Amino acid sequence: MQRISSRNARFQVWQASLTNRTKRQRSGEFLVQGVRPISVAVDNGWVVRTVITDVSRPLSGWASELLQKLPGVERVAMAPELLAELGEKQEPELVAVLELPADDLDRIPVGPDFLGVVFDRPTGPGNIGSIIRSADAFGAGGVIVTGHAADIYDPKAVRATTGSLFAVPAVRAPSHREVLDWVRRSAVPIAVVGTDEHGTTDVYDFDFTQPVLLLIGNETTGLSTAWKEAADHLVRIPITGSASSLNAANAATAVLYEISRQRSRHAQ
């Protein structure tokens, strides 16, 4: 077991990965804190490169059991004040260093009941995490983040998923083109459905029981022109009151709930 009690080069790489997207990509790894997210990651077979524990205290039952599931994984014992920095002041018992998966759209399974979510150019990592969490809760098979966007593996995004990142494939794509090429290659016909306040159909009037790729736009500007033109259908969420619009994550959750409701009734 390696011990780290100073801000050596390795500590600095991990610390930088919390705030620097480029360095996360260069190292090919990211940090995960929290009992549930780490447990879900391990149970779903994510590659754990290193487990960092507090040198000053014995392992809990959970941590001991987790390490038994990871025979041969590197373990580092770290001074508590340094571990608290990697835990972003939460004083964690354990931090896991996970390998970044490939941004491969084929990680997302496509079948007769396919439901995928595209988040176009999101600026808030917390919104990315919230949408991944809702996608998991309502049966989506994957989430795709397109364009110049906040990072899926930003610690704020990872925390906001509360572990769902490790249960639902989430992939980054440079633009709509790569996603549409992937849709066209699919053996299953997929309806590309955008959400827009000027959509022609209310969400509860649209048939979501077919295979669907749901498009959610940027928090401020909505869907790009390219995505609007690529969509087979544009739907809207009827709202009342003084609100002019919904937060992107809230809008996604509302539509995903409607899709789940329709599909549950259709399956009966």
Q: What are phi and psi of 152, to 5 degrees?
A: -55, -35
Whats the size of the chain, residue-wise?
268
pLDDT of residue 89: 66
- Helix ranges (H only) for 101-201 are 125-137, 155-160, 176-185
Distance CA 183, CA 202 (A): 24
Is residue 58 within 8 Å of 80, Cβ to Cβ? no
Whether the per-residue pLDDT at 268 is higher than 90: the answer is no
| Rounded-to-integer distance, Cα 104 and Cα 200, Å | 33
pTM: 0.94
Q: Is the pLDDT of residue 196 over 70?
A: yes
**pLDDT average, residue stretch 177-184:** 98
pLDDT value, residue 202: 97
Query: pLDDT above 70 covers what percent of the chain?
Result: 99
Query: What does the pLDDT look like over 19-61, one tens digit per residue?
Result: 999 999 999 999 999 999 999 999 999 999 999 999 999 999 9
At 246, the pLDDT band (50, 70, 90 cuts) reads confident
Neighbours of 14 (CB within 10 A): 23
146 has pLDDT over 70: yes
Percent of the chain with pLDDT over 90: 93
Measured distance CA(82)–CA(217) in Å, rounded = 39
Residues 68-123 have pLDDT tens digits of: 999 999 999 999 999 999 998 677 899 999 999 999 999 999 999 999 999 999 99
Per-residue confidence at 157, pLDDT binned at 50, 70, 90?
A: very high
User: Radius of gyration of the chain from Cα atoms?
Assistant: 20
Which of 38-47, 144-153, 174-183, 240-249 has the lowest average pLDDT?
240-249
Six-digit token pair at 95?
Answer: 């931090």
Report which residue type is found at 35.
V
